[in-house]
Structure 1
Amino acid sequence: MDVSSLSNQQVLTMPRTRPPYPQKFRDQIVELARNGRTPSDLAEEFEPTATTTSGWLNQADRDEGKSAEGLSSDEREELRELRKKLRELKQERDILAKATAWFAREKGDVPPKSSGS
């Protein structure tokens, strides 16, 4: 099958990113880099780029307390969870505000919204 015969829909449904590398693989690459291999050497032998490998090294240093630059993985995970909880609480607040307004109108405590404004 030749690429020119593919429809636009088939081309657009291909994944744009690859799944994340498993943690065990990342740990092995970091270990190799710490044992003297350069990120560019590792990029030639394995799939991740030198930039990706350098990022993993920097993150490992933060996680182990060797660097104070940026968030550790635990802090990053906590921040992700807190942001998720904040989104949920904002949704709940909005739902409660709408329900309160609806009940107030039903009870007659608030005049109905006019459509002529």
Structure 2
Amino acid sequence: MSTVVKAYPQEFRDDVVNIARNREPGQTITQIASDFGIAESCLCNWMRQTEVEAGARPGTTAAENAELREAKKRIRLLEQKNEVLHRAAAYLSQANLPGK
């Protein structure tokens, strides 16, 4: 049985990241994550992605990821069309052979 990942609203993510960044001395990321009912690794990922979005850390932004997904989708579509054209050309060349 598979588990469904619960998506958190962006506003919630932003609030938790801001709280984690501005935490009191002695308060840990683990405690903050526990208080909000999320995994520590989840909070760390959100913090890392926020730094990437701000340009403070290398990595791909959400906009770049969306652009890459769209480009890959377009490439797949073009490859499918190219394959259809190759098959059509092969079929038509066979139909025009002498002796048929």
Tell me if both proteins adopt one fold, taking TM over 0.5 as the criterion. yes
Q: Name the aligned partner's letter for residue 3 of structure 2.
A: R
Aligned partner of 1:62 in structure 2 is 52
Q: Which runs of 5+ in 2 are unaligned?
A: none
The count of corresponding residues between Structure 1 and Structure 2 is 97
Higher relative contact order (CA 8 A, sep 6+): 2
Aligned partner of 2:15 in structure 1 is 28
Q: Distance in 2 between matches of 1:34 and 1:26?
A: 12
The normalised TM-score by structure 2 is: 0.79
Please state which structure has a larger fraction of its residues in helix: 2
When the two chains are superposed, the root-mean-square deviation of aligned CA atoms in Å is 2.4
Aligned partner of 2:88 in structure 1 is 99
Q: Distance in 2 between matches of 1:53 and 1:59?
A: 10
1:41 aligns with 2:31: yes
Which of the residues 57, 61, 71 maps onto 2:60? 71
Q: Distance in 2 between matches of 1:101 and 1:66?
A: 53
